[in-house]
Each structure stands twice: as structure tokens, then as C-alpha cells.
Structure 1
Amino acid sequence: MRVFLSRPLFNTTYLSARFAEKGITLTTTDSNDICSLQTLLEHAQDADALITHTEDAITAEVITALPERVKLIANYGIGFSNIDVDAATAKGIQVTNTPTEEAFHATAEATVALIVSIARQVPALNTERRNMKTDPAPSFQRPTAVSIRNKVTGVIGLGRIGSRVATMMHHGFNNKIVYFDLFQNSDMETALGAEKVALDTLCKTADFICVNMPLSADTHHLVSADMINAMQNHTVFINTARAELVDEEALIARVNRGELHGVGLDVYTDLVNDITAENVALTSHFANFEKEAYLAMTNLVAENVIGVLVDAVPATPVNSVTGEPND
């Protein structure tokens, strides 16, 4: 049995050893760059399973080109919007992801870290000092931070990550929590007094807005230009979910005009190259970039591969070729 990994992990040797115990051979590329379609399809010819990353576009066309021997596409990541799950299901290919508790915690902590960083003007202050030879002269006319305590945090998507963000902001900074979601979260309403509101209400009233919603056809550009323009001038806006959830052009135009306190983006497109505002942090899709989360994700992707190739039971399926869909 053979598995192709589209890009090396931080612990590829460990993953390879886990597979070897089960008679599975792991191959990967020598590059940390996103795997080209040509390379992916070449290696797929000899593979029983593929381990992909969220940056790999596994479209219906790619799935059609895969050989019949491929039984599994195991995504290394919480999300799986990069894979045409319907096309995979139609071809009898199992799809899995790695929704570990550690990854949820890591992304939530990164979201809160960005809120704190932007609220306290850390990116702007860092840029200012690095452009000078000595510390700036004290002046009360310089841009100031905004407090984090006793504010309103608006969570767009109060799921497994958003709920953790809400808990930290409520208990850590005494924030009132408002949220928008396609579903009611009664547990968070009971535990934190969270209030479910319309999205436009959230955008108009929250001091801190963070996007933690999964991407789907229903949520594409959910945070529209109208929603962005409804935000208060002191709003801190954070997106650690997917770039396509937000009208980036409208967001960038508004922050560049100085009409938002600042923005923290872990996910984005090349439009961010047009940002001129200083109080902006770009973290390059590294929200779950921590040793504990990556080890847990590596173990789970191994369990999914072994589960499908050896035991015929995936640990965390996202389609129903075998087992029930993962929520």
C-alpha cells in the first residue's frame, strides 16, 4: 500500500514510521511549495491514498483524472472546502479531515491573539519603531490603543472554534458575546449569555468582530461590502476562517481610509498587497501553527489513512463512502 503526501509536514518522518508499522509506504515531494497538479497526478498513479493540504485544489476535474486505485483523499486540516466532496463520493473515494481539539484551540487562541494585537496597536507600533533609529518622542497626539475589557465581541460562526473564542473573550476580558450563525448555540447562550443576532446587527454593534464560519456556497462573501461599511470606526476585524467569506476589496478600502481601528487576517488573497494601513497583521494561514496541534493532526491523518486502507473505517469522514459524515 502506498500513500502520497502532497507537501512535507513538520514531522513527516514520524508519519512515515507510523505507516511503516502497518505496511504502508509514504512518499512526498522535496519541496515545501504547494504541489503542482502535474506532480500530484503523477504520484497518484501509484497511490492508494492521497494526503492533501487545504491549499491543494482537488477539483472535480482532478478527481476524474485520479486512477481507480485511489481510495482516500485525507485532508490535513480542519477544513475541506478545497476538495470537491461530491465528485469524490460519486467516484467512491473517501474524504477525511483532521478536526482535532488541539487545532480548534490553536486557531481560537490565534484569533484572540490577533484581537489583542490589533486593539493594542502592536503592528503599527512595531512598524513605527523599526522605521526609526531611536524611540519616538512621547506625544498624546499619536494613535492610541483601544481597551479590550468590557467590550462586545461579535463571533461570526459560533462553532467549535468560535465557541472557544467567545469563552476566552468573555471570561478573560469580560466581553459581552453576540453571534451570528446558521444554527442556534444554546450551550453558549447558557454558559456565556451569548446572544444570537442578525449579521447586520452584529456588524453595527460589536467592537471586535471575528470570522470563524465554515466556507460554503451559502457563506461565500457573507461579510459583504454593506456589512463592512456598517461597522463602527473603532472596530477590530479578524478573519481566521477563509478569505472567501469576506468581501476583501471592501474591507481593504475601508481600513485604508482609516475607518477601522485595524484588521488581523490569517487568510486572504493577493488583494492584501494593496493595504496601506499600518495597524494590520497578516499571519499567512498559520492560525493553528503550533507543535501540539500539528502533532495531533498528524496522528489523526495517520488514523484516517490506516482506517481506510487497513480497517475500512475512517476516523473522521466528511463524506459517506464509508461511515457517517463528520460534523
Structure 2
Amino acid sequence: MLKAFLTRPTYNTPLLTEMLLAEGIEVEVRSEPSVCPEHILKQKISEVDALLTHTEDRIDESLLELASAKLKVISNMGIGYSNIDVAAATKRGITVTNTPTEEAFEATAEATVAMLLAIARRIPALHLERKSMDHDPDPSFLRPTATSVREKVTGVVGMGRIGSRVAKTMHLGFDNQIQYYDLLSKPELESSLGARQVSLSDLMKTSDFIVVNMPLSKESHGLLSAEMINLMQDHATFINTARSELVDEEALVDRLNAGTLHGAGLDVYGNAVNKITAENIALTSHFANFEDRAYTDMTQLVANNVIATLTTGHALTPVKE
């Protein structure tokens, strides 16, 4: 019987194991919910036909050197796959797959808009204020106000499958003007939403809301530099549900703590966020697409990628370096 190893329980482990067993693939599931230790990965990668990973599992070349000749597929649970050395896997004839389901894109777009609304309306700050008291705060027009969302300008950094959904929601739902920065023009969105392609500096200077949905690459690493962060208007709201490495977080934290931004919603971030003293902040720990519909689809795609690779030699969603 073909063998697979799942590095830790996933969203719907019974569904996953049932799908694989139906195709003659036996699954060993590590019972602990934590990230899989390296010594266990070293043991299992030398034994199985399929390795089922999560984006926190580091699969580098030194680990792949221990892979069994039987290992044909590493099926990663997530849209991203930067945790896997794809070139090293490909060199050894191992297919790497990810889970770019439509539901995952929808979920991340919804989370992006949800954080934008929460920060604009100062919900995190209001929540923290009330939690620190045993009564409602005194009403006063001297208090910081929320900012309206309707009829504003949303700047989308990365008008891809997630960014385009955010743009559509903000335009049709809140009558926002849409401007975007992307390496490619999007004529269909320019036609349907009246979106304008602009330079990154213009977007940062003139947007009320800035949402970052651009994939991480060598070209985009550090794209939102300190110079770009400092171009934002004082009333701007900044949202990042893409990758933390796109942003100079020290510069962002400096602006937040100085009170020269309305607030920020970050699903992805580094250690710099531990220095934030501002209150109108939402940190969601890389859970933007963590919802029932998205993760059910992703679980099924993890299984179907394994099944397709082991039975036909062709994965459904292979990734390339």
C-alpha cells in the first residue's frame, strides 16, 4: 500500500484520510498540533510516497537529501509554498503542490475588507478602551473619531486574484474610487470598476485605504519601503494580508506609534509589531483565509493532489520555482 505522512492534524483530517484511503493510500497523522520537529521530518521523508505539509514546515535541500526514492509528492496546505525548496525537490523528481482554491482567495479578500472596516471604524481601539474600564467611557466630541468608508479612494497594491476581489467589494459596496499598482495592467477592471493604474508612490500619497495583496518575490521584497510608508496621508488606513516581507515594518510601526496613521490591520508581520503602542491595530496571526469553506476546499485539494500525482503522475496544482 502507498504511504503518506501528515505533519500535524489539518482542518478536516478525517475527510483527508478518508479520501486517500479510498484510493489505497495509507495516511499516518502526527497527533501533535504543533509544527513538526525536524527529526520527525527526517525520519518520515525517508519512508513515504507522499508528504503532506503545512506552510510552517520547512522542507529544505538538506532534508530533501534524505528523501526516499519512493517520495513523489509534497502536498502543501496553503497558497504559499516558500517553506519548500521547490528547485531541490524538482531536481529529485518530487512534485510540489499548493492549494490555490477560489474559496481561499475569496476568504482572504473578505478578511482584508473586514480589517479595513474594523480599523476605519476604530473597533479595535474602542474594544480595548471598554475592556480596560468597568463602565462606558464618557461621551465627548473631543474623542478620536472613526473615519467614513464610503466615497473614498482605495489603493490596491497587487491587483491579482485577491486584490481584484477587494477592489470590487470596495467599489460596488462603498462607492470607492479604485487605483492600483501592479506589474501588469488590468483593462477589464479598469472598464468594469473604473480602476486606474498608478505608480506606487502616487498610490501611497493619494489613497485613503491601502491594501497590500501582492505576492512575495525577489522583485517585490521590501517594495513598501520606509520611503513609501512615509508617503501615506496621516488619515490613511493600512492593511496587509499578503506577506510581511513586502513592508518595512519598522517604518510602519514608527508612524503608528507617532499617531500619524489612522491605524493598521496586519494578518502577516514580523517582530516589529511587538513595539506597537498605538491602539487602533488588528493583528490576526496569518488567519485571513482560515474559514470553513476555504479550508474544506483546501483540504480536498491536498488529498486530490496526492491522489493525482501517485496514480497518474500529474498533479492538479503543481508549483514551479
User: Could you tell me the TM-score, scaled by structure 2's length?
Assistant: 0.97
Q: Which residue of 2 aligns with 1:324?
A: none
What is the match of residue 325 of structure 1?
none
Q: Indicate if the aligned counterparts of 1:213 and 1:241 stay in contact, CA closer than 8 A.
A: yes
Asked if the contact 1:119–1:145 (Cα under 8 Å) also holds between the matched residues in 2, the reply is yes
Displacement, 1:188? 1.1
Q: Is the 8 A contact 1:72 1:95 kept in 2?
A: yes
Alpha-carbon offset, residue 319 of structure 1: 2.5
Q: Report the CA distance between 1:41 and its aligned residue.
A: 1.7
Deviation at 1:62, TM superposition (A): 2.6
Conserved? CA contact 1:35–1:56, under 8 Å: yes
Q: Is the 8 A contact 1:155 1:177 kept in 2?
A: yes
Provide structure 1 residue ranges, at least 5 long, that are not aligned to the other structure. 321-327
Task: Determine the C-alpha separation between the residues in 1 that align with 2:67 and 2:212.
Answer: 34
Which amino acid in 1 is paired with 2:129? E
Q: Report the count of equivalent residues.
A: 320
* Contact 1:81 1:216 (8 Å CA) reproduced: no
Determine the C-alpha separation between the residues in 2 that align with 1:235 and 1:44. Answer: 48
- Deviating above 6 A after TM superposition, structure 1's stretches of 4 or more consecutive aligned residues are none
Give 1:255's aligned residue. Answer: 256
Distance 1:222 1:36 in 2: 33
* Equivalences for residues 87-236 of structure 1 within 5 A: 87-236=88-237
Q: CA deviation at 1:125?
A: 0.2
Unpaired stretches in structure 2, ≥5 consecutive residues = none
Q: Deviations over 1:230-273 (max 9, x none)?
A: 11111110111111111111111111111110010111122211
- How far apart, in 2, do the equivalents of 1:265 and 1:226 lie? 19
Separation in 2, partners of 1:223, 1:31 = 37
2:25 pairs with 1:24: yes
Which one-letter code corresponds to 1:131 in the other structure?
Answer: S
Encode CA deviations 1:119-140: one digit per residue, 9 max, x unaligned: 0000000000000000000001
Q: CA deviation at 1:313?
A: 1.6
Q: If the length of structure 1 is used for normalisation, what is the TM-score?
A: 0.95
**Contact 1:8 1:30 (C-alpha < 8 Å) held by counterparts:** yes
Alignment partner of 1:154: what SS? strand
CA distance in structure 1 between the partners assigned to 2:85 and 2:205 by the alignment: 35
User: How far 1:10 moved relative to its partner?
Assistant: 2.1
Question: Percent of aligned pairs with the same residue?
Answer: 57
**Does the 8 Å contact 1:81/1:215 carry over to 2?**
no
Name the aligned partner's letter for residue 89 of structure 1: T
Q: Which amino acid aligns with 1:204?
A: K
